[in-house]
Amino acid sequence: MAGISIFEFDTLTASSPSSTNMVGQRKVSAEVFAWLETQALRSTEAGEGAWLRLTHRHGRKAIQVNSFVGVIRCPNGFQIEVLPKLGKTNGEEEARHLLIEMLRCLGCFRHIQTSSAQLLARRMPLLEVFIGEFLRAVDHTIKRGLCSDYLAEQGNLFALRGKLHMAEHLRLNLCRRDRFYTEYDEYSLNRPENRLLHAALRRALSWTASQANQQLARELCFVFTGIPESDQINADFAQARPDRGMAHYDAALTWARLILQDESPLTGTGPHKAPSLLVPMEAVFEAFVAKHLARQLCSDFSLRLQTRSLRLVRHKEQDWFQLKPDLLVQSFKTNRLVLDTKWKLVDAKKANSKEKYGLDQSDFYQLQAYGQSYLEGDGDVVLIYPKTEIFSQPLAVFDFPKSPGLRLWVLPFCLQTKQMLLPTCGSLTPFFSPNT
């Protein structure tokens, strides 16, 4: 199946006889471009997160893919793989490896098996990796055994079975004494979980272009012969229940939800609701940092995520404007350190009052508010950015003249070693173990 790979903030233009691919810009068909343009306009009108942005390049209309990663699948089957911008230097394969490793920290992708996924990523685009992981999970479920359940059935039988429905029996069998209209329980594989897996298998089979995935999907579909596909996706997910002895369904159902419900922050809209597995890179980076930073902390400290206990102001007996830092370090329920993650590029060479390392002033205002509220104006607040070649060491401390007890640090987080780099002055050393 046709498709291309791009990076965050790359642009797409409609192909024409005179157009050529350039760095950071790729061509797509007029049909695909028109659909993407419609998605961009509708998401803007609906006030949704701007995953696509209309722009111009060299005098032509273009569409920029914002800070989202994953797969966009257009109605005609064309696939656009969006990879993290930090992997651009080392190529698509390394970027795909990096993304898979980071996605495992998000709840909906937690079942990715690193070894198998990384192996697939060497020769397949991201969507094929996802499908391969789903098929592996279903195969595991089948090998552990599909679960059955009692299903209420009704029928006009030759033998009395279950409970006789007298009204229907008299209506249908007044002259047929050899029949009994009854309601009975049938022990059957036709339960919501199996119907959902069957439906997800069929959809995955229609998506995949990999011969290996196609073959495995067909083999797995054969096992589900006799089990109807789910035609009420949301209702079946609502009825699916984690019974005892069904833990082996967990991974397969998680993938099925992603495939069937397009359970992603964004999806295609309009009459052609094309499935798109897109996630905001800010959320991926935050989850990645949170998982590994918790391991870097000393044992006396704990890490809380997305704390939202405080408000910025009080007005007419009401608290307004929630303060929600990404990460909060506590010791015996006492707030000790506030951290916020930013999926942005910092340039240590831009050390001047005009360029300010490429830092955003609003982020500093935000961290000052967090420090005043959660640390009572005394302590350290941290902005965490991904480590790059142009930002490989912590920046010097930032002081707040009107808040002498509050210090702000801008620190790099290494995606390879999965550790935050600490300032050499030792201010943050008490919080983190040196042996991680």
For the stretch 37-94, pLDDT in tens is: 988 887 776 555 567 888 888 778 999 888 888 888 888 888 899 999 887 888 888 8
For the stretch 361-413, pLDDT in tens is: 999 999 999 999 999 999 999 999 999 999 999 999 999 998 899 999 999 99
Determine the Cα–Cα distance for residues 412 and 393; give it in Å rounded to an integer. 6
pLDDT at residue number 187 = 66
Please determine, for residue 12, whether its predicted confidence score (pLDDT) is greater than 70: yes
**DSSP secondary structure letters along 300-348:** T-EEEES---EEEEEETTEEEEEE--SEEEEETTEEEEEEEE--S---T
In this structure, the number of other CB atoms found within 10 A of the CB of residue 12 comes to: 24
Q: Is the pLDDT score of 146 beyond 70?
A: yes
Backbone angles phi, psi at 222, to 5 degrees: -60, -35
Domain assignments of the chain as residue spans, ordered by start: 1-91+266-278, 149-188, 297-431
For residue 332, give both structure tokens. 């015996």
Rounded percentage of the chain residues whose pLDDT exceeds 90: 47
Residue 185 has what pLDDT? Answer: 63
- Quote the pLDDT of residue 272: 37
Q: Look at residue 433 in the predicted model and tell me its pLDDT.
A: 80
Asked if pLDDT for residue 267 goes beyond 50, the answer is no
Q: List pLDDT tens digits, range 173-215.
A: 767 777 877 776 676 788 899 999 999 999 999 999 889 999 9
Confidence (pTM): 0.83
Residues of 145-169 as b/e, b for ≥16 C-beta within 10 angstroms? Answer: ebeebeeeeeeeeeeeebeebeeeb
Q: Are 68 and 281 in contact (CB under 8 A)?
A: yes
Assign 356 a pLDDT band (cuts: 50, 70, 90): very high
* Residue with more model confidence, 22 or 30: 30
**3-class secondary structure, 253:** helix
Q: Are strands 60-65 and 68-73 parallel, antiparallel or unpaired?
A: unpaired
Q: Which stretches within 224-319 are classed as H helix?
A: 233-239, 250-261, 281-296
